[in-house]
Amino acid sequence: MSFIANPAFQARLLKALAANAAFCEQTRWFDGSVLLQVDDDRLWLKIYCGKVIDHQTAVPPFGYTFKFAGSEASWNLLLSGKRLWADLTFPGKRYFEDDPGLERVGESSVEIATEGNLLEAGRMSEAMFLLAYAIKDCAAKR
């Protein structure tokens, strides 16, 4: 079971997002849902007018607006502070300790993929940065 499947983590995350004025402001005009996926574990967040109004560990029949999906190892790079959210979700390679010959320069893969409505994901990018760092902080309080 990954961190997102833990009910205590979910409660901390919902409380942190409700208290985060910047997250509330950035999502003020959003009516959609974000799915977080760590391997096979999922956390669906319904966001409406600046508030997370529902959450589930399964995807409802009507789906999600966009999702962030990656392996537990990839998410742990965020949780440990070894990588920033931008490093994990935006294409490109910025760390070359595993490639001293620079043979992978120009690589454009991501550790945590964004899927679904990419226009909405892009529009909500500032809010998703705030969400990512709330995830990091709440996971650290295990």
CATH of the domain at 70: 3.30.1050.10
**Cross-strand partners of 48:** 31, 51
Q: What is the pLDDT of residues 80-108, one digit of tens each?
A: 999 999 999 988 666 667 767 777 676 77
Whether this model's pTM surpasses 0.85: yes
What letter would DSSP give residue 55?
Answer: E
pLDDT digits (tens, 9 = 90+) for 36-56: 999 999 999 999 999 999 999
- Alpha-carbon torsion 125, 42, 19, 78, what sign? negative
Q: Is residue 93 part of a domain?
A: no
Order of strands across the sheet with 113-116? 51-56, 41-48, 31-38, 66-70, 113-116
Reading the block at residue 52, the tokens are 């997370």
91 in any annotated domain: no
